[in-house]
Structure 1
Amino acid sequence: MKTLVLCVDRDDDFGRKAGLNSPFIGREENMIAANGLALKDPEDSDINTIFAAISMYDEMLKRGVDVEIATLCGDIHVGYESDLALTTQLETVINTTGAERVILVSDGAEDEYIYPIISSRIKVDSVKKVYVKQAPTMEGIFYIIVKMIQDDKMRKRLVAPIGLALLIYGLFAIMDPLASLMRGSDVSYSTIGISMIWIVVGTYVVSFSYKLDERLKLYCKEVKKAARSGSQIIPFAASSIILLIVAIFYGADSAAAMSNAGLVRQISAFIGGFIWLAIFAYVVLLIGRFINNYAMERKTTYGAIVESITVFAVGFIIQGALDSASRLFDYGHYDNLLIVLEFVLGFGLAVFAGILNLSFRAMSKEETDEEE
């Protein structure tokens, strides 16, 4: 009965960093993969995991056990795509090696996701977790924290929620002083200053977590490129930005008009004032993209039509929800028929957009088949 010593790299560090195609079957292929990743990123924990698996394989081979070793890699988009790749590779490895049981070697990071996939297809005899030894000093701990923060995956999981919490806290903390300032009441400017600090720190942490500065630079480059090439989307994009700014000010003005009401009512007023101008801003941008694609490539982008209808559907649903809440909590008097119509229009447009999307996909498939 053959035993398989199995390593799993769920986010495909071997492919992403070392450019290697998995699965790796056999000791030689696993050694090549480990050395390749070690040269690209010597601090990756997957290197220690695969060497631990090779060591276990050698030990079992000396004892005369019928054993094979393999490594599976998922996908950079951790989730459905990654798990589908792991499942496909696992079935390939099982068919190739003829293994009937497995020993899973991992770094323990995502066992709760990996284990069910493997155990559903082959008997798991044991799970060995590999931990990397570090120097027990403050300098070593600081170094580990810095390396964790530099890792995209860990930064989004650990740092981004902290930034969002600080940003939300700062925004809510500044609302009352600003409302008092608009009413002409006495305001503690130190309170506004502390709230602004939370907002700035939260914004910086969120920007760092999602690399918004790099995305902004890339966006600016694309805008420059579009301007030089005479893209038709520039005036539409400018109009869209202006409408979005107006939407924010209009929403803030609507919220300020409800300064004597509660916080929930102010938020509802802001959304009510903001939502439709924001929707029109997005639709203007979609129209610009549609015209630009047709002018530059003579290609009709049906997706822009579907997106426009979907956005209006979402707008009607949100408006219906706001009006329902206003009537329920006696914030305002709205006709029941109007609320029902808003919901019917919203869900009706959503269904229509779905049907339209399927029709456009069928048309696109037919055109592709004809070209072939």
Structure 2
Amino acid sequence: MNKDFSVNTVKKEDRYLVIVVDMDDDVGRKANIKTPVLGRSNCINAAVKLGLADPGDTDVNSILGGVKLYDDLKREGNQVELAIISGYKDVESKKCARRIKEQLDFLLYLYEPTFVYFVSDGKEDELVLKYLEGKDVFVWKKRVVVKQSEYLESTYYLIQEFLKKTMSQYLPFIFTSIGFAMVIYAIFADLGWRIIVGIVGLYILSEGSGLIEDLKKALKEEGKSFEFRRLTPIANTIAILIIAIGALYSYSMAQGEDFIIFIGKFLQYFTDFFVLGTFIVLLARSIDGIIYSNREVLEIFKRFLFGIVILFILREILIRFSSLLCGRAELVEVVVSVIVYSLITAILFIVLFYSRGRRVMTG
């Protein structure tokens, strides 16, 4: 008799708590539900609201899985409670950890459970276990995984975060580089790939080593008053010297000819000096833009490559015009080249800068 009484007493003292964990606060952000949500009916209503807001959200399955576990324990005659808790959209933030901790402490104080089940839609929610293990409560080792494999959910979560944080940054850069390579290759054959591969390689090395960010921080910490540190004024001076030397050299090489042939030969020798000087200026301005301005690196990169395309198109036109003046090309050939290069420039400009202009117009 006493033995039966003692067993029944222990059974009555056993209290079960089923906790549904929504680490990234989908119930709050999507269904505008404040947590903790207490009780079976309130949890079902929360699942319905979240399901109507986002039918594909796996937390709907988590909540319904928690309800099913609650019903199973209830049918066994156990004293059981059901609750939903949520964190914050940034699951790695202190705010998320603080919200989870406060709600867990509240539930443990309110219900004083002996056993805790928790239902999760992914492996990241299981960080809650580390906190519960430090409490005077038995965390039931049988975990409920709803609808899909926990590893599949975790893999999806990791892939989603990788694409969101990493690929969103580098995909535009990669596609822009490939596009410019194709354009330059179409105009200048193998030269296009060498230029683009070199630039992309330098960019990847700089990003991978953190060189760009370190330069930004170092130079900004020393103050913006040190204007002499900018490369553009130095590059302008170097470019002027290169162009001046090129002009003198081209003039000396073209002497002794009649005026038309003189102009043609002058352009033939001078063009590469002009291209080199202009390229140095473009490069320096881009570097200054990355270090000193608040514009996105991709936007600066687009402008830089667009400038390179224009520069090399201008070089081709000058070379062809030089050949025309020297009698090595036909007028029709030069005119067609100018028209084709102009169309390429216009199309490239529209493709690169149309979306930004559209945002300005719609804003």
Relative to the length of structure 2, the TM-score reads: 0.44
- Which structure has more RCO (C-alpha within 8 Å, separation ≥ 6)? 2
Structure ID, larger Rg: 2
Relative to the length of structure 1, the TM-score reads: 0.43
